[in-house]
Amino acid sequence: MKICAFGRALPDHGIGGMERHFQVVIRGLAARGHKVTVLTTACPGRTEKRNEENISMHFLSGTIPGRYEFGYWKRSSEKFFALHRVDPFDVVFSESSGAFGYIEKKGREKVSVPVLFIAHGTPMREFRQHGLKSLFSPWDLMRMGRSLVYHRRMKKFLRHVDLVGTVSRQIAADIKSELDVADNMLRIIPNGVDIDMYRPDVEAGERVRQKSGISLDAPLIACIGRLHKDKGIGHMIEALARIREKLDGVKLMIVGDGPDGKRLRRLSAERGLDDCVIFAGVVSSEETYAYYNSCDLLALPTTAIEGLSLSLLEGMSCGKPVLSSDIGGTSELVRSGIDGILVKPRDVSGFVQAALRILEDSSLAARMGTNARDRIISGYSQEKMLDGIEGLLREIIER
């Protein structure tokens, strides 16, 4: 297949779940012999074009790096048609709203190249999470207004896609109810991870501990991913202040960076936790598996209605028990009491109790970690995800 893949960002732009998902999909399809052309936003320090085996990447000049905006949608659509006239594409892959520029023209001009749209969430997700409580400032009101506009555009454009793939049942239900997408247009393709890269590796974990000055026998909780307020890491810091009263030597390692980083560092200092919270910063995707292996418990105390967290998938694939919020796609992935423990969002006392239950019972932690790894192998591998996406692309081409 000749595939044109639209997406606002890759790991070149910054590490995040959607960025990594996009990269895994395009490289996975290319490795299977498909020709993939990628249209993404400009990236500082990158040339406008880069080639890999079976992949031609275009970082479009004049666009805002990593952002959805009219300039990107216009430039990506123009680039698509310029390339399509020379060497026609068979199908379009839209990572979230990446292909909106092309989809608008497809609806208006009856262009025939079919589109697979992958949804990680909906524009109104934040408002459903927080309601009016989320509107604290003029900035919040502006952000909500932007979500409403985006909601209307998405509802309009989804009429012109051929299939909508969602990463969880929760997102499929949201797409159906909020955006009036029919059941026969929806397919569920859960995120998947490379189970050979993200694997149990005691020695790799020990190296991270030694480098970070953490003793090998210290109970270690890890939060790994983008530092955004919706990830709820502040709740884990609050929980740690109480956990350490009952568990000597416990540490919290926070891996990643983002807009909530300064607040989290300030909160850690205010709670007197500078000696037991380690901010590791951003690490490469090749190093991440070692950080998962360094911990005894992976925590994602999110307040967001997650589609399907790559951080949880990767940590579970490394054989780690998980502690997370009982919300969104996380509730589908984690079997509470089997792979880890789910707690109500924002329930700091619940996080304290669950963390102590796992950290104080090594046999329970080991059993949960084994179950977690088995669950990923059986249902959430990268190959299974790619099989699903490849199958949907073929399906819409053959219609």
CB–CB of 258/233 below 8 Å?
no
* In the predicted structure, residue 284 carries a pLDDT above the cut 70: yes
* In the predicted structure, residue 16 carries a pLDDT above the cut 80: no
pLDDT in tens, 123-161: 776 566 555 555 555 656 666 666 677 677 788 888 889
Domains of the chain: 2-192+381-398 (3.40.50.2000), 202-379 (3.40.50.2000)
For residue 37, give the nearest of 13, 7, 62, 11 by alpha carbon.
7
Tell me, what's the pLDDT at 110? 67
Global confidence as pTM: 0.87
Burial class (CB in 10 A: 0-12, 13-18, 19+), 95: buried
* 53 SS3 class: coil
* 208 SS3 class: helix
pLDDT in tens, 81-120: 999 999 999 999 999 999 999 998 876 666 789 999 999 8
**Which residues lie closer than 8 Å to 170 by C-beta, 6 or more apart?**
305, 307, 328, 329, 331, 332
